[in-house]
Amino acid sequence: MNETLLDLQLENAERLNISDEERVRAKAHFFVHCGQCSKLCNGKLRVRCALCKGGAFTVHRDPECWDDVLKPRRIRGHCESLEIACVDNEAGDLPFVEFYFKCAEHVSGGEKDFAAPLNLIKNNIKDVPCLACTDVSETVLVFPCASQHVTCLDCFRDYCRSRLSERQFMPHPDFGYTLPCPAGCEHSFIEEIHHFKLLSREEYERYQRFATEEYVLQAGGVLCPQPGCGMGLLVEPDCRKVTCQNGCGYVFCRSCLQGYHIGECLPEGAGEGAPNSCEYTVDPSRAAEARWDEASNVTIKVSTKPCPKCRTPTERDGGCMHMVCTRAGCGFEWCWVCQTEWTRDCMGAHWFG
Amino acid sequence: MSSMSPSERRLHKELMSLIKEPPPGVTVDTESVQQNLSEWKINIKGFEGTLYEGEDFQLLFKFNNKYPFDSPEVTFIGTNIPVHPHVYSNGHICLSILTEDWSPALSVQSVCLSIASMLSSCREKKRPPDNTLYVKTCNKNPKKTKWWYHDDSV
């Protein structure tokens, strides 16, 4: 087994032209994200039998490209782990090898201590300047586009941050929530999303949250509109009354994302009692930051539910789940849990909670 | 140099190369840049043999800390705003590489060249048809405008 596997990054022709000096410089050439070190580390490639997972395995040839390593059933070999050698099928064909990666920077924690390979990260043996800052860095990320655009890792992080803050990651059907080459090249999406682990922990968590939300929305689901909740909910297409199950328990209208109500949704902003017909307009994002009473509005939104009939925000201060709207002229009897009319079923199921 | 952010390093390099090897008709107002690396004034000349021959224009480039992943904000400033079907009288420019088609592989130099070529290919000096309404209602930042790039022949 080729221990250093320098050549895996290179095309055949390049492999022949490389000098000894460059060989030394390029010696650490696998990068992994190590969960234990929680950073980008040098990695090492390991083999095992794809069938019995035993490590005593002789490959028939060395891997020559990343596909040989990352995709299954590419290279066969002899398994010597068990007394009776593994075979792939009834005809007795030899088994395939399975490659995996370990972190080379901490003492191995055994069989299950493996690390995610970051195949786009390479030693910059060709001294390509970064697309963004134009510095020549030692370690770079090479995008999988035809031009193989290069960025340094700092600029890659900047790129991810700027796209994350604008929610510009794309849901790719096979790879997940990912980014293309920043130069906008075709077919350039990052396939191994562990590359985004190069972000800080908080940023990666944000990435994961956005990815989950995107998945929920793509699947026709909704996000709970309650401030501070945002639970993803998958609901039947024709269901308008949504309950935030396993989340905050809020019951809301799927169409207007306000508390659940009977009858048609009110037009946006109508509930706030502000006449919208003035000619003086302001930038809505600035207006959102400049609200005197925003904090109270959030409190009201979190601690109340609207009367399902007249939508008056109602606070439940103890007692049972049977609510009677106190607004003059309404008097609707409703259930705090279901946010619909109070029924015998409510009485049976959750009268007192 | 090492205390600079990647964005500042990139701007610094672009500035040096633009001062050392400026494309024809393009000069950086180094005084403006010295005061603030994130706002550059750039002078461009109307090329000979075009409708803008003999005219001088000034562009203002504003960069945020996401540059080059975010496009620069580019407008014409000063007393002479070119009369051109894609340039509004307030200096805003309708050019797709300044918003949707921006890529970090582009640069200040390539933006200047695109603008120079946009001017050079013009066959009739006139303002955009919606100039009056746009100038009255637009945001100060042209990047907030949702441009509709309807014609790339000029």
More confident residue, A267 or A347: A347
Rounded distance, CA A334 to CA A52, Å?
A: 61
Nearest residue on chain A to B8, alpha-carbon basis: A133
Closest by CA position to B154, among listed B61, B107, B88, B85: B85
The parent domain of residue A343 ranges over 304-349
Confidence of residue A181 (pLDDT cuts 50, 70, 90): very high
Tell me if A131 is assigned to some domain.
no
**Among candidates B6, B9, B104 on the partner chain, residue whose Cβ is nearest the Cβ of A182:** B104
The mean predicted confidence, pLDDT, of chain B is: 90
Confidence of residue A3 (pLDDT cuts 50, 70, 90): very low
Radius of gyration of chain A (CA): 29
Tell me if A74 is assigned to some domain.
yes
Confidence of residue B111 (pLDDT cuts 50, 70, 90): very high
Instruction: Output the pLDDT for position A276.
Output: 42
Which chain B positions have a beta carbon within 8 Å of A158's beta carbon?
6-7, 66, 69
Rounded distance, CA A322 to CA A333, Å?
A: 7
Q: Are A166 and A112 in a shared domain?
A: no
Rounded distance, CA B6 to CA A162, Å?
A: 13
Closest chain B C-alpha to A161 CA, distance in angstroms: 9
DSSP code per residue over A225-279: -STTT--EE---TT--EEE-TTTT--EEETTT-SBP-SSSPPPTTGGGT-----S
Q: Are A153 and A217 in a shared domain?
A: yes
Nearest residue on chain B to A131, alpha-carbon basis: B105
Name residue A57's amino acid.
F
Contact A152 B6 (CB under 8 A): yes
Which chain A positions have a beta carbon within 8 Å of B14's beta carbon?
134
Q: Are A148 and A202 in a shared domain?
A: yes
Give the active site residues of B.
Answer: 94
Q: Is it the case that residue A109 has pLDDT exceeding 70?
A: yes
Tell me if B152 is assigned to some domain.
no
Average pLDDT over residues A294-313: 76
Tell me if B118 is assigned to some domain.
yes
Q: Is it the case that residue B2 has pLDDT exceeding 60?
A: no
Q: Are A178 and A149 in a shared domain?
A: yes
Tell me if B150 is assigned to some domain.
no
Task: State how many domains chain A has.
Answer: 3
Tell me if A5 is assigned to some domain.
no
Which chain A positions have a beta carbon within 8 Å of B68's beta carbon?
132
Contact A183 B13 (CB under 8 A): no
Q: What is the CATH number of the domain that holds A314?
A: 2.20.25
Closest chain A C-alpha to B71 CA, distance in angstroms: 12
Which chain B positions have a beta carbon within 8 Å of A283's beta carbon?
139
Q: Are A82 and A159 in a shared domain?
A: no
Instruction: Output the pLDDT for position A27.
Output: 56
Tell me if A10 is assigned to some domain.
no
DSSP symbol at A128: P
Tokens of A284: 């809505």
Q: What is the CATH number of the domain that holds B64?
A: 3.10.110.10
Closest by CA position to A138, among listed A152, A155, A154: A152
Task: State how many domains chain B has.
Answer: 1
Q: Are A149 and A228 in a shared domain?
A: yes
The parent domain of residue B20 ranges over 6-144
Contact B70 A162 (CB under 8 A): yes
ipTM: 0.70
Q: Is it the case that residue A281 has pLDDT exceeding 60?
A: no
**What angle is formed at CA A323 by the lines to CA A319 and CA A329, rounded to 5 degrees?**
140
Tell me if B117 is assigned to some domain.
yes
Q: Which residues of B touch A (CB under 8 A)?
A: 6-7, 9-10, 13-14, 66, 68-70, 101, 103-105, 139
Instruction: Output the pLDDT for position A217.
Output: 80
Q: Are A104 and A145 in a shared domain?
A: no
**Among candidates B13, B14, B103 on the partner chain, residue whose Cβ is nearest the Cβ of A184:** B103
Tell me if A80 is assigned to some domain.
yes
Average pLDDT over residues A16-20: 54
Q: Are A200 and A115 in a shared domain?
A: no
Percentage of chain B exceeding pLDDT 70: 94
Tell me if A324 is assigned to some domain.
yes
Contact B10 A134 (CB under 8 A): yes
Tell me if A337 is assigned to some domain.
yes
Active site residue A103: no
- The 10s digit of each residue's pLDDT in A117-143 is 999 999 999 999 999 988 999 999 999
Q: Is it the case that residue A278 has pLDDT exceeding 50?
A: no
Tell me if B154 is assigned to some domain.
no
